[in-house]
Structure 1
Amino acid sequence: MTLDGDEPPYRITPAILNQVAAVSETLGRLSQASEAGRALRLRRINRIRTIHGSLAIEGNTLSEAQITAILEGKRVIAPPREIQEVRNALAAYERFSSWHPEREAHLLEAHRILMAGLIDEIGLYRSGGVGVMAGEQVIHMAPPPGRVPILMERLLHWLGDTEVHPLIASSVFHYEFEFIHPFADGNGRMGRLWQSLILAHWNPLFADLPVESLVHAHQSAYYDALRESTEQTDSAPFIAFILRMIEAALRTATPQVSPQVTPQVGKLLQVLEDEMSREALQERLGLKDRQSFRARYLKPALEAGWIEMTRPDKPNSRSQRYRLTEAGKAWRTEQDRK
């Protein structure tokens, strides 16, 4: 964010628009397919995955099974600080539905709950300088503490007034929040929590969507997107990244509505490694007919979300490559277990 501006700088790229469309399409299918009993079970599973992913990014080592045990009131042998982090996160999600994302008082209350017993400055903006860290590397030095209150006031005011699509607005907020880094500690988990809150006010399905587990699996890419956006003074790279994580989370969190894998698509998923061109895939599969390959293998896999283009904004590019989505990776992992 420019320190003297009221509008966060970001571009709406073709890749971002494609991701918004993909998320909206998947969300529509999930909304139609959800069942009350199944949704309740999935909410519990996804909330545990959400807490596990968000805290793991910050170095918490507790497993999903241990988090489940804490949720059920069972004794867990683990570092006291890590247990406290889990209890705080569970308490925060109990209050989740009562918060409004544009209200500063609710933001401060969430931080107070999330960081209780972990730091001294809870529910207060920081009084000292901080940096965004990727491991031991500083990737961004946050604005001085004296600027934090006005920057947060402007950001929350923009959030309350903007007419930008919630998928984009929540991503812009997430990036700007991390840029400002308003708290002494807990900024990463707060930024992810608040994006989920913004999205949940748009669609309740986002209340327990485990985006954090996907972010944790792509942690280096998360920090790369933050760094790239800061260098460009444009949050478009971060928006595109986080929307890909949201789409992947929607697909993997609700496997009961995933499309069926045809034998041809299954073969494609099994041979796809890293990023591969169309020609390389055809050769790996032993197929010579380009038209048949596109119609029976490539197009169905793309439309179902099992694979994705590396350059979705330029589908006919000569440098186009294809890679597995999180849904595709999950399917292949499941097949390997059989």
Structure 2
Amino acid sequence: MPRYQPPFTLTSEIVSLIAAVAEQVGRLSAQSGSGMDLRLRRINRIRTVTGSLAIEGNTLSEEQITAILDGKQVLAPPRELQEARNALAVYEQLHAWDGLSEADLLAAHRMLMQGLLDVPGTYRSGGAGVMAGDKVLHMAPPASRVPTLMTQLFGWLQNSQEHRLIASSVFHYEFEFIHPFADGNGRMGRLWQTLLLSRWQPAFAWLPVESLVHREQAAYYEAINASTHASDCAPFIRFMLGCIHKALLDITPQDAPQDAPQVVRLLKALGDNSLSREALQQALGLSDRKSFRQAYLAPALSAGLVEMTLPDKPNSRQQKYRLTSKGRSWLRVHKEHD
């Protein structure tokens, strides 16, 4: 029987993204494993779990996920708490799973869906599809075909000579197409791509790609649908590589002047607030508008640490500024380090 070959095309854009990701990975790998790095990894792991669960409708915030991780009591729907505890446990065991093992995928699903499904860790026995309200976005193959399709997919993965960025994205798409489980397919697909990438570069074990996928959730599903309609998963590969590249840019210190004292002061002045330029200058004790913009605001905006509340109206009198998720993460780490 001929070996299964998922259909995909390597476009020039995909090749360029691979090179861009590889460059950022090289910069990230050059960082030392300092204590501050460990705190940043913890924050990114929390962002990863929060983002992946949010895509599936879980409403827990990063602060609540942090409290659960710290063993504190959190008031929330029991199912959402169970989803969070399970996801944290699975990501904690990421180093123990073999991304090329179908048995390990079933074991990971068992842990991820414990207490949420009657028989977690087993392939579905009924039909499945992806819905958007009353609209059917995708009808998965019949349950009787799932074991064979999954065995073929793992067979391809084990023998693939493709770059791990490509192979992991193809696996992720094919996994979602097959939709092998009654529930938890989205979480497992994203988890398994993270696992496969972490075996290529360990930094991917804590890179918060899921938070970016959550931010671009509509585009995520559009990429899946476009790949299905084209019978070619290039659109999904392109989307995932774009998310990976953005996530790497977010956590690579060399790409942001976040150690500049002016930027540090600006981030601390903003905190959890949304402030106008005038309010920020007053909080910082600055009277020169041009100096404030050049030395404080412009570097923070270009680094992605601060964003406008009205990005489509940059000169609006109602314009205010607030921290991005990257800025909030940096500020939390900085406070702990202080």
TM-score by length of 2: 0.76
Query: Structure 1 pair 16/113, CA: closer, same or farther in 2 (3 Å)?
Result: same
User: 1:22: how far off?
Assistant: 0.6
Q: Which residue of 1 aligns with 2:49?
A: 51
- Which residue does 1:228 correspond to in 2? 226
Instruction: Give yes or no for contact 2:306–2:322 (8 Å, CA) kept in 1.
Output: no
Aligned length: 274
Counterpart check, 1:28 vs 2:26: yes
Q: Is 1:143 aligned to 2:152, yes or no?
A: no
Aligned partners of 1:121 and 1:184 also within 8 Å: no
Would you say the 8 A contact 1:210–1:253 is kept in 2? Answer: no
- 1:333 CA displacement: 5.0
**Secondary structure, aligned partner of 1:33:** coil
Q: Which residue of 1 aligns with 2:266?
A: none
1:257 aligns with 2:222: no
Closer, same or farther in 2 for the Cα pair 1:199/1:136, shift >3 Å?
farther
What is aligned with 2:88? 90
In structure 2, how many angstroms separate the alpha carbons of the residues matched to 1:100 and 1:215?
Answer: 24
**In the TM superposition, what whole-angstrom CA distance separates every residue of 1:207-245 from its partner, at most 9, and x where no partner exists?**
011101000000000000000000000000000001000
Q: 1:77 to 1:249 in 2, by over 3 A?
A: same
Counterpart residue number, 1:186: 184
Which residue is 1:176 aligned to? Answer: 174
Report the AA paired with residue 202 of structure 2: P
Deviation string for 1:270-308 (max 9, x for gaps)?
Answer: xxxxxxxxxxxxxxxxxxxxxxxxxxxxxxxxxxxx9xx
- Distance, in Å, in 2 between the alignment partners of 1:57 and 1:42 is 23
**Of the candidates 209, 212, 226, which is equivalent to residue 211 of structure 1?**
209
Q: Aligned runs of 1:64-143 on 2, under 5 Å?
A: 64-134=62-132, 136-143=134-141
- Residue 195 of structure 1 corresponds to 193
Q: Secondary structure at the match of 2:15?
A: helix
Report the Cα distance in structure 1 between the residues aligned to 2:117 and 2:138, rounded to whole angstroms: 22
Q: Tell me if 1:164 matches 2:139.
A: no
CA distance in structure 2 between the partners assigned to 1:136 and 1:56 by the alignment = 21
Residues 329 and 260 (structure 1), Cα distance of their counterparts in 2 relative to 1, 3 Å cut: closer
- 1:297 maps to which residue? none
TM-score (norm. length: structure 1):
0.76
Q: Report 1:4-19 matches (<5 A).
A: 6-19=4-17
Displacement after TM superposition at 1:138 (Å): 2.0
Give ranges in structure 2 of 5+ residues lacking alignment.
259-299, 310-319, 324-338
Residue 139 of structure 1: how far off its partner (Å): 1.1
CA-CA distance at 1:50 after TM superposition: 0.2
Percent identity over paired residues: 60
Whole-Å separation in 1 of the counterparts to 2:134 and 2:209? 24
Q: Equivalent residue of 2:59, what SS? A: coil
Q: Deviation of residue 332 (structure 1)?
A: 3.3
Give the Cα–Cα distance (whole angstroms) in 2 for the partners of residues 8 and 209 of structure 1.
26
The alpha-carbon deviation at position 132 of structure 1 amounts to: 2.0
1:200 and 1:207 in contact (8 A); partners too? yes
